[in-house]
């Protein structure tokens, strides 16, 4: 039971940054914007949160700084794509390259230094329950934030006026504009939300997953988060399942390596990415499902009539 508990706790830790980043990207894409810069926003959130936490000794301050770093990076993308009307695909890829390079420069002086770990919450009596207690009531605050965010996003998108506006902008920005909705303003807000979630995902990597700064520590998780949005067919409930499924695959590969099974470690390390490719191929085969849920305006620029 102790071994199973340890595996489950590790899966939760591995899944949380994927869920955070993918939740933000889901909202961004629901508004009709394709931001391929998730990896860059994540790594900027990671380095800035680590630097702030190390300098101040406060993990909570590190979380806030990571969040703001993600938002700031996303606003650069928003300005270029929504105001200057640059290509969303090219700008997103450039944002990832910028984030990876800039984070390496910022984090050069922090490499190898001991980090400030984000402590788990302890609820008297509840956390002490064998097996169930540590899993349900002994996580750090960002695990609960990720679950609360996916629930809130699901409710807002499908049960509130704000969600209707976001979906309207993503499905037909010309009609939304004709009805008086500020398409650019809505997309700026959704891009900012996506950046905040990616920044939180990066902060989680640097403060909880591995409390230290390692260059390129996002290790492709931003790309997996993008794939998760497609895997979920832009539905929050499926996104939650997908994030924990991919987290399980990630950890099982490491666990099998630890058992000394005669499988090349390189193959096991590549499992999450292989699963990503397989899942995308399977999902793309169901064209009716993709057609029903894909935002019709995704990736398409909007120039309001003047």
According to CATH, the topology of domain 2-116+132-293 is ABC transporter involved in vitamin B12 uptake, BtuC (1.10.3470)
For residue 261 the two structure tokens come to 């099974």
The helix-helix angle for 38-56 and 59-78 (nearest 10°) equals 150
For residue 60 the two structure tokens come to 């909570």
30 in Cβ contact with 176 (< 8 Å) = no
Q: What is the pTM assigned to this prediction?
A: 0.92
138 in Cβ contact with 119 (< 8 Å) = no
Torsions phi, psi of 44, nearest 5? Answer: -70, -40
Identify which of 87, 90, 146, 141 has the alpha carbon closest to the alpha carbon of residue 117.
141
Chain segment 10-34, per-residue pLDDT in tens: 999 999 999 999 999 999 999 999 9
Buried b (16+ CB within 10 A) or exposed e, 35-49: bbbbbbbbbbbbbbb
Question: Would you tell me how many other CB atoms lie within 10 Å of the CB of residue 8?
Answer: 15
- What does the pLDDT read at residue 38? 97
100 in Cβ contact with 43 (< 8 Å) = yes
How far is it, in rounded angstroms, from Cα 222 to Cα 46?
12
Identify which of 109, 94, 96 has the alpha carbon closest to the alpha carbon of residue 47.
109
Round the average pLDDT of the chain to a whole number and report it. Answer: 90
Identify which of 250, 218, 244, 219 has the alpha carbon closest to the alpha carbon of residue 231.
244
187 burial via Cβ count (<10 Å: 0-12, 13-18, 19+) = buried
Chain segment 161-174, per-residue pLDDT in tens: 999 999 999 999 99
Cα-Cα-Cα-Cα dihedral of 263, 266, 267, 268, to 10°? 80
Question: Would you tell me how many other CB atoms lie within 10 Å of the CB of residue 284?
Answer: 11
How far is it, in rounded angstroms, from Cα 75 to Cα 53?
23
How far is it, in rounded angstroms, from Cα 184 to Cα 169?
9
State yes or no: pLDDT of 1 exceeds 80. Answer: no
201 in Cβ contact with 43 (< 8 Å) = no
Chain segment 139-153, per-residue pLDDT in tens: 999 999 999 999 999
Chain segment 191-249, per-residue pLDDT in tens: 999 999 999 999 999 999 989 999 999 988 999 999 999 888 899 999 999 899 888 88
Where is average pLDDT lowest: 41-50, 86-95, 154-163, 286-295? 286-295
């Amino acid at each position: 039971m102790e071994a199973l508990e340890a595996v489950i706790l590790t899966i939760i830790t591995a899944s949380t940054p994927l869920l955070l980043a993918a939740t933000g990207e889901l909202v961004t894409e629901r508004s009709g914007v394709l931001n391929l810069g998730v990896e860059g926003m994540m790594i900027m959130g990671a380095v800035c949160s680590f630097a702030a936490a190390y300098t101040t000794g406060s993990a909570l301050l590190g979380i806030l700084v990571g969040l703001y770093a993600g938002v700031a990076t996303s606003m650069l993308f928003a300005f270029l794509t929504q105001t200057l009307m640059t290509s969303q695909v090219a700008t997103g890829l450039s944002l990832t390259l910028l984030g990876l390079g800039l984070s390496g420069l910022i984090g050069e002086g922090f490499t190898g230094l001991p980090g400030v770990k984000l402590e788990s919450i302890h609820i008297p009596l509840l956390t002490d329950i064998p097996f169930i207690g540590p899993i349900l009531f002994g996580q750090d605050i960002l695990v609960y934030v990720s679950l609360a965010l996916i629930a809130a996003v699901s409710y807002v998108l499908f049960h509130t006026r704000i969600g209707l506006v976001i979906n309207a902008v993503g499905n037909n920005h010309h009609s939304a504009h004709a009805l008086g909705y500020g398409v650019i303003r809505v997309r700026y807000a959704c891009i900012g939300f996506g950046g905040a979630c990616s920044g939180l995902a990066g902060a989680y990597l640097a403060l909880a997953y591995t409390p230290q700064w390692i260059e390129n520590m996002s290790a492709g998780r931003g790309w997996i988060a993008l794939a998760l949005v497609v895997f979920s067919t832009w539905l929050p409930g499926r996104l939650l399942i997908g994030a924990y499924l991919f987290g399980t695959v990630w950890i099982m590969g490491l666990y099998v390596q630890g058992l000394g099974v005669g499988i090349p470690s390189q193959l096991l390390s590549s499992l999450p990415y292989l699963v990503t490719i397989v899942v995308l191929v399977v999902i793309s085969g169901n064209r009716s499902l993709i057609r029903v849920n894909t935002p019709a305006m995704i990736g398409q620029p909007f120039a309001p009539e003047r």
